[in-house]
Structure 1
Amino acid sequence: MNDTSTRTSADGGTVGTLARGLDIVEWVAATPSATVQRLAADLGLSRSAAYRIVGMLRERGYVVGETELRLGPVIMRLGLQTLHGLDIYAVGPEPLRELVRQTEETAFIAVFDDDQMCYVMQEEGPQVVKVVSKLGSRAPVHASGLGKAYLSALSDAAAGSVIERIPLTGYTATTFTSAPALHAELDRIREQGWALDDAEREPGVRCIAAPIRGADGSPVAAISTAGPRDRIVAAQPTIVAAVRRTADRISVALGAAPSPDRLSPDT
Structure 2
Amino acid sequence: MANPRRVKATNRTFDILEVVNEQNGGSLSDLLKEVDLAESTLYDHLETLKDNGFVVKEGSEYKISLKFLDYGMGAREQKKIVPVSGDSLTQLVEKTGGLGLISIEEQGWCVFLKKEVGEQGVSSIARIGRRVPMHASSSGKAMLAFYTEQKVDDILERHGLDFYTEQTIVEKEELLEELSQIRDSKVAYNDSELVVGSRSVASPIIHNNRVYGAISITDSRQRIDNERFRNELPELVSAAANDIELRLGDHNVHITGSGQR
Query: If the length of structure 1 is used for normalisation, what is the TM-score?
Result: 0.69
Q: Residues 47 and 160 from structure 1, CA distance in 2 versus in 1: closer, same or farther, beyond 3 angstroms?
A: closer
Q: Residues 39 and 241 from structure 1, CA distance in 2 versus in 1: closer, same or farther, beyond 3 angstroms?
A: farther
1:219 aligned counterpart, secondary structure: strand
1:16: which partner in 2? none
1:231 aligned counterpart, secondary structure: coil
2:176: which partner in 1? 183
Moved more, 42-51 or 156-165: 42-51
Counterpart of 1:152, as a letter, is A
1:68: which partner in 2? none
* Pairs aligned (count): 210
Contact 1:40–1:47 (8 Å) recurs in 2: no
Matches within 5 A, 1:1-267: 31-34=14-17, 35=20, 40-42=46-48, 45=51, 50-51=56-57, 55-57=65-67, 61-62=69-70, 72=72, 74-80=73-79, 87-127=80-120, 130-132=122-124, 133-214=126-207, 216-233=208-225, 234-236=227-229, 237-255=231-249
Distance 1:104 1:249 in 2: 19
Distance 2:181 2:54 in 1: 53
- Stretches of structure 1 that go unaligned for 5 or more consecutive residues are 1-26, 63-70, 81-86, 257-267
Distance 1:44 1:230 in 2: 45
Distance 1:75 1:230 in 2: 37
Deviations 1:38-78 (A, max 9, x none): 665335729998459964436xx32xxxxxxxx63x13314
- Stretches of structure 2 that go unaligned for 5 or more consecutive residues are 1-9, 26-42, 251-261
Query: If the length of structure 2 is used for normalisation, what is the TM-score?
Result: 0.71
Deviations 1:113-157 (A, max 9, x none): 121111110000111x63541111111001010110110121223
* Residue 173 of structure 1: how far off its partner (Å): 1.2
Moved more, 172-181 or 129-138: 129-138
Contact 1:96–1:107 (8 Å) recurs in 2: yes
Distance 1:219 1:110 in 2: 11
1:18: which partner in 2? none
Distance 2:182 2:54 in 1: 50
Q: Residues 104 and 115 from structure 1, CA distance in 2 versus in 1: closer, same or farther, beyond 3 angstroms?
A: same
Contact 2:111–2:132 (8 Å) recurs in 1: yes
1:235 aligned counterpart, secondary structure: helix
2:105 aligned counterpart, secondary structure: strand
Q: Residues 96 and 48 from structure 1, CA distance in 2 versus in 1: closer, same or farther, beyond 3 angstroms?
A: closer
Counterpart of 1:191, as a letter, is D
2:29: which partner in 1? none
Identity %: 25
